[in-house]
Every structure is written in C-alpha cells, then in structure tokens.
Amino acid sequence: MESPPYRPVILQVLPALDAGGIEQGTIEMADAIIRAGGTALVASAGGRLVPRLRHVGALHLQIDLRSKNPLTILANARRLARLIADHDVALVHARSRAPGWSAALACRRTGIPLVTTWHGVYRENVPGKRRYNAVMASGRRVIAISAFIAGRLARDYGVGPDRLRLIPRGADTAWFDPDSVRGPRMQALAEQWGLPDDAAIVMLPGRITPWKGQALLLDALARMETAGGCGRNWACVFVGPARTRDRHGQALLRAVEAHPALRGRVHFAGHCADMPAAFALADVVVVPSLHPEPFGRVVVEAQAMARPVIVAAHGAAMETVTDGETGLTVPPGDADALALAIRHVLAMPPQDSAALGQAARASVLAQYTTAAMQYATLVVYDELLGSTLAWQFAATADLTDTTGSDDAE
C-alpha cells in the first residue's frame, strides 16, 4: 500500500501581524502551506491581519516576540520550544530578528531546522548590532528577497551558496490586475480623497516616514511647477499610514501650505485597503526612497497594475525596474532629476504611457508573482524535510514562472 504524503507542520514567527511586506509574505506562505497539504502555524503578538491569516486556514498563536531584551528572548525561546513539541512542528521559518533569536534557540533545543528570510536593510551603526543581525543569516537555509540582499548576505555574513536562496517577493497578479478594477472602485477612492476629475495623479505609496521620500517628491513637484509645469493639471496623493502625532507628517503639511504651487494639490490618503483601485487612479507611481529598498513590493504591485513607475536608482529597485523599458530610474535624492522624470511621464502620449505600463506588467508576470515566490519557498522546505509540498502546491497554482527558486550566486 502506498504511504500517505508527508504533511509537515510549519511554524512562521514574526513580531506582529499588522500592515507590511513581512506580514503579507507570512500570510501568503501560510496559504501556500495549506494548499500543499501541510499545516500552517504563525506565532506573533497579533494585529489587524490575524483574521486574514485565519481565513486561509492557518492557526495563530499569540506570543509577543517583539522584545529585544535578552531575558525575554530566552523566555520566548522556551515558549517556542514547548509549542514546537505540542504541535509536532517540523520546521520554523523566522522573518525578523528578535523572533529569530528565540526561534534559533528553540530550534537548537528541539533539533528541528530553522529557515530565515532576510527582509530588511539592517544597519550596523551601533556596537553589537552586527551580531544581533547575524541570527537572520544563521538558518539552515537563508532566503534573500532580492539579489541586492543576497549580495550583502554573501559578502558581509559569509552565507555560502549551499545555504543561500534568492527568492524575490511577488505581486498577486490576479488581485493586481488592471482588467479586474472597475470604475466604481476608482470613483469611490477619488471621491474619498477629494481628487479633481481633470487632474493627472502622481502617487507615492508607502508609510509616511522620512526615508520613503515624501519631502523629496514635494520638492520635485515644486521645482517642476517653477520650471513651467508639465502642461497638465495634476494632484499628488500620499497613500500610506502615519504614526500618531507624526512630526514628519506635520512637516509635510507645513511644506505644502508654504508653497503656492503645492497648496490644494497634495492629498494625504492614509491607509488604503484597495490598492489595486488606488494604483488604477495613478498616472505615475513614484517611489523615491532615500535609502535602498531591500525589495520594494509596492513598485512591483504598481507595475502589475500596468502603471508607469519612477524609482530611486539604488537597492533592489535596480532589479525590478529597467530604465526606459519597465519604468524610469533617477539618482537617489535628486529633486531636479525627479522633477524631469515626472514631467516626462505626464507629457507622454497616452499610447507611450500605456506601452510602458504593459511592459512593466509583462516583467512582473515573468519574474515577480506571488505564486512563484510561494513555490520557491516550498522547495526550500522540501530540501530540509524531504517532503513534496512544492509538487503538491504546483498542482493547485498557476505557475507562470518559477525562476525565483534559483540559488543565489
């Protein structure tokens, strides 16, 4: 009699389940594990995305893993070790440093494999920070979300090709599909945000924080108007949450009010639950991050929606945007270059703008889909467990491309 397929229990650990790329990736992988026949557990402090996690069929275990205090990390390691034993966990996947330390200690105690995903551009600006970061390079497999991150892991943390796997993040191209977004969804957002009907929309998606470049975009738009404008009426929308009593947000508001060319044309949308409709409203999506992005999911999502994008030319943006073909790149922090790029896109004939957007979507479909990321990560689990999760997932998914599973060089 043929043995039933091995259905492993996979535990993912992260600080919390609020908005963000780490959280989104966690839910996507929980969904993939379950579709492949496994059991998906997630340990975190909770958050507003817990219902979405439960909706895909995963079990959430409330453990606050956010503390960097060594004693708390040790206590959390003991909690995770008990959880691993109680639920017969076969593998732990850590996505952040403090939870990663607890997970690494728990895996050492229980003898099960640890997979880590290096999501951020972690700094090493204080003594001991490099050692703290290093836990994310300690897994039996270490996943880099871009070639930019893979290069740093190999160079600075000595992660060799036997352990390093390059698996870019992806966009859900069924959700981020321009053909699926109808006018009422777009109109609802335009009315909610108070956007003028005749304006070209310049959009910056991302949390309201200095390094995302909102102030740089305001500077660029002001310079564009001072130099004669772009020949069209325009409005700028910042789509993303801000911290309570945020000084940066208040400074942006003051800058808008202080400049006649910006006053009345800049809108702060806050968190948006319907990003496909938001991107569909945009004539150009600008991501002028002042520091290198480790991947930049919003860029790929905007490209999946066939929107022209303008990005700062550093970090992983150089992988997802080919200048002049799938978007435009500008030197980081250069307001004049950004102004020229925005003017160029807004002055494009409609057919040229559409062609740029279509090339961007084609690139995402070929290289950066959620399904390809899920499949490649399941391949990593299979390497360590001897399971067939990737094969079983492939039977349920539309895998247009699986090149993300290639080993990093």
Q: What is the largest CA-CA distance in the chain?
A: 78
Structural domains in the chain?
9-170+369-396 (3.40.50.2000), 178-367 (3.40.50.2000)
pLDDT number for residue 402: 38
Which of 112-126, 248-262, 306-320 has the lowest average pLDDT? 112-126
**What is the chain's mean pLDDT, rounded?**
92
- Return the pLDDT at 283: 97
Indicate the residue type of 264.
G
Residue 406 has pLDDT above 90, yes or no: no
User: SS3 of 200, please?
Assistant: strand
Residue 409: pLDDT over 50: no
CA 253 to each of CA 157, 200, 227, 268, 270: distance values in angstroms, whole numbers, following the listed order? 41, 21, 23, 9, 13
Computed over its alpha carbons, how large is the radius of gyration of the chain? 22
Of residues 273 and 378, more confidently modeled: 378
Burial class (CB in 10 A: 0-12, 13-18, 19+), 191: exposed
pLDDT of residue 110: 97
Query: CB of 143 within 8 A of CB of 116?
Result: yes
Q: How far apart are CA 332 and CA 301, in angstroms?
A: 21
The 8 Å CB, 24+ separation contacts for 250-258 are 251/215, 252/208, 252/214, 252/215, 252/218, 255/215, 255/218, 256/218
Q: Which two tokens stand for residue 6?
A: 């091995």
- Given a cut of 80, whether residue 144 has pLDDT beyond it is yes
Helix (H) / strand (E) element for 288: namely none
In percent, the amount of the chain with pLDDT more than 90 equals 81
Give, in order, the Cα–Cα distances in Å from 135 to each of 94, 113, 251, 296, 309: 10, 14, 37, 23, 35
| Confidence grade of residue 121 (pLDDT, cut at 50, 70, 90) | confident
Which tens digit of pLDDT belongs to each residue from 336-365?
999 999 999 999 999 999 999 999 999 999
Contact 310, 338 (CB under 8 A): yes
Check if the beta carbon of residue 115 is closer than 8 Å to that of residue 143.
Answer: yes
Number of C-beta neighbours around residue 179 at 10 A: 6
Instruction: Give the tens place of pLDDT for each residue, 199-256.
Output: 999 999 998 999 999 999 999 999 999 988 888 999 999 998 877 677 888 899 999 9
Which pLDDT value is given to residue 77? 97
Under 8 Å between Cβ of 100 and 68:
no
Write out the E strands in 297-345.
Answer: 309-312, 328-330
CA 141 – CA 161 distance, rounded (Å): 10
pLDDT in tens, 32-64: 999 999 999 999 999 999 999 999 999 999 999
Range of weakest confidence among 16-30, 149-163, 188-202: 16-30
